[in-house]
């Protein structure tokens, strides 16, 4: 049973054409994350939501926006994709625990290609 679902799994867009990636979860976790991962690199945190509170990483470009309309869904909007935005985009969820951070559950990712 899929717990973190991402759609689409593969997305091809043209340079500068807006694209929206979606993530949904059945875990009822209060924290949702968006990561960008390029080949042979660590996942890079773009932003996260703690409930409805949005937390943007300082180095996340303005080109990237996010929405979380409810607990289950979160969207990543790339307003004007550039060639450098081609990557795997990973959505993750967690329930903050006393141990700090806790386990994050990842979706299968959306692989974005920019032509």
Partner 1 sequence: RKEVEQDPGPFNVPEGATVAFNCTYSNSASQSFFWYRQDCRKEPKLLMSVYSSGNEDGRFTAQLNRASQYISLLIRDSKLSDSATYLCVVFSWGKLQFGAGTQVVVTP
Q: Does 81 sit near partner 1 (CB under 8 A)?
A: no
CA gap 94, 18 in Å, rounded: 28
CA distance 54 to 26: 20
Q: Which stretch binds partner 1 (CB under 8 A): 21-29, 42-50, 68-76, 79-87?
A: 42-50
Q: Does 90 bind partner 1 (CB under 8 A)?
A: yes
Cβ-based nearer residue to partner 1, 28 or 39 = 39
Please identify, among the stretches 11-19, 21-29, 67-75, 107-115, the one whose residues bind partner 1 according to the rule CB under 8 A. Answer: 107-115
Distance CA 33, CA 54 (A): 10
What backbone phi and psi angles, to 5 degrees, belong to 49? -115, 130
Binds partner 1 by CB under 8 A, chosen from 43, 46, 49, 74: 43
What single-letter DSSP state applies at residue 83?
Answer: G
């Amino acid at each position: 049973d899929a717990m973190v679902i991402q759609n689409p799994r593969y997305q091809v867009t043209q340079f500068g054409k807006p694209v929206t990636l979606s993530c949904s979860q059945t875990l009822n976790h209060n924290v949702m994350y968006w990561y960008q991962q390029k080949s042979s690199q660590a996942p890079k945190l773009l932003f996260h939501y703690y409930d409805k509170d949005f937390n943007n990483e300082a180095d996340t470009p303005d080109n990237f926006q996010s929405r979380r309309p409810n607990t289950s869904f979160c969207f990543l909007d790339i307003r004007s994709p550039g060639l450098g935005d081609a990557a795997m985009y990973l959505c993750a969820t967690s329930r903050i625990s006393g141990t700090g951070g806790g386990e994050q559950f990842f979706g299968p990712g959306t692989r974005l290609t920019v032509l």
